């Protein structure tokens, strides 16, 4: 089973690579296949299992922050270089509360819904007429005032490795070795920045999840 963050990221990538989906702010919840920046992001994470819209009312960039925080995300902009993207990891949500939202997908890339074929927010035809209405592009700090917030999911207790008594299992040395190898592999594939930070905090994480993500992305990279 894919981790929830990976499900959300893959949903957005699939939408960006399918030209039946374009940009529109009037029909923005997929009624004709189209989204805008916030509805695409909200839909992706809602479908992945984060009830940001259904439980917490996220509908646009201006009310996304609290809804995502209610679902376990934290603002980590203090550990990220917003100009270079250093410190970002796959699945981080880049939010400017007034103007825009995008999601970092690793390897210096973001996925986002940008603009329709007319260079406007409304009035275009359904679907992607330009190949850029919903796109994958190089990371850059947002040009209208920068990113206000970087939302990152904090792992919940029920996603850690739990023993039969309901307690978190202590990671063995062998499991720790597997996790370190997986983190380094993700860094090698350029899907993870600052591997040393993740290794330092490895005892607080789910070693099996690291291994699964690394194996999954290694298969993709080898295709």
Among positive and negative, which fits the CA dihedral 42, 43, 44, 46? Answer: positive
Say yes or no: 40 and 145 in one domain.
yes
Say yes or no: 50 and 80 in one domain.
yes
Residues 52, 137, 134: CA angle, nearest 5 degrees: 55
What pLDDT does 65 receive? 98
In a domain, 182, yes or no: yes
Say yes or no: 120 and 201 in one domain.
no
Tokens 């490895």 correspond to 202
Instruction: Look at residues 44, 36, 39, 37 and name the one whose alpha carbon lies nearest to residue 13.
Output: 44
d(CA 129, CA 110): 20
Say yes or no: 182 and 141 in one domain.
no
* Whether residue 210 has pLDDT greater than 70: no
In a domain, 223, yes or no: no
Residue 153 in tokens: 């999911």
> What is the pTM (predicted TM-score) of this model?
0.71
Please report, for the domain that includes residue 125, its CATH number: 3.90.1720.10
How many domains does the chain fold into? 2
**Least confident window among 40-44, 103-107, 147-151, 154-158:** 154-158
When pLDDT is cut at 50, 70 and 90, the band that residue 161 belongs to is very low
* Whether residue 86 has pLDDT greater than 80: yes
Q: How far is CA 85 from CA 26, 30, 162, in A?
A: 32, 30, 34
Say yes or no: 139 and 173 in one domain.
no
Question: Which of 130, 153, 176 delimits the end of a domain?
Answer: 153
Cβ neighbours, 10 Å, residue 129: 15
Question: Which of 122, 153, 184 delimits the end of a domain?
Answer: 153
What pLDDT does 156 receive? 54
Say yes or no: 146 and 168 in one domain.
no
Question: Which of 153, 170, 187 delimits the end of a domain?
Answer: 153
**Least confident window among 85-99, 117-131, 201-215:** 201-215
Say yes or no: 170 and 62 in one domain.
no
What pLDDT does 2 receive? 74
What is the domain extent for residue 175? 159-218
Q: What is the CA radius of gyration of the chain?
A: 18
């Amino acid at each position: 089973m894919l981790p929830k963050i990976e499900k959300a990221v893959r949903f957005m990538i699939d939408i960006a690579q399918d030209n039946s989906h374009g940009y529109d702010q009037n029909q923005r919840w997929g009624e004709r296949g189209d989204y805008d920046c916030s509805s695409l992001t909200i839909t992706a994470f809602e479908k992945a299992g984060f009830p940001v819209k259904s439980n917490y009312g996220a509908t646009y960039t201006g009310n996304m922050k609290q809804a995502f925080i209610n679902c376990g995300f934290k603002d980590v902009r203090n550990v990220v270089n917003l100009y270079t993207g250093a410190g970002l990891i796959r699945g981080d949500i880049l939010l400017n509360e007034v103007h825009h939202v995008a999601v970092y997908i690793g390897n210096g890339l973001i996925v986002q819904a940008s603009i329709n074929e007319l260079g406007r927010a409304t009035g275009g035809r359904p679907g992607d007429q330009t190949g850029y209405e919903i796109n994958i592009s190089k990371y850059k700090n947002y040009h209208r005032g920068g990113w206000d917030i970087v939302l990152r999911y904090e792992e919940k207790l029920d996603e850690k490795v739990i023993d039969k008594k309901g307690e978190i299992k202590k990671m063995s040395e062998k499991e720790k070795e597997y996790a370190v190898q997986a983190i380094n592999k993700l860094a090698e594939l350029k899907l993870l920045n600052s591997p040393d930070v993740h290794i330092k905090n490895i005892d607080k994480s789910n070693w099996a999840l690291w291994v699964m993500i690394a194996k999954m992305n290694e298969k993709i990279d080898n295709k």
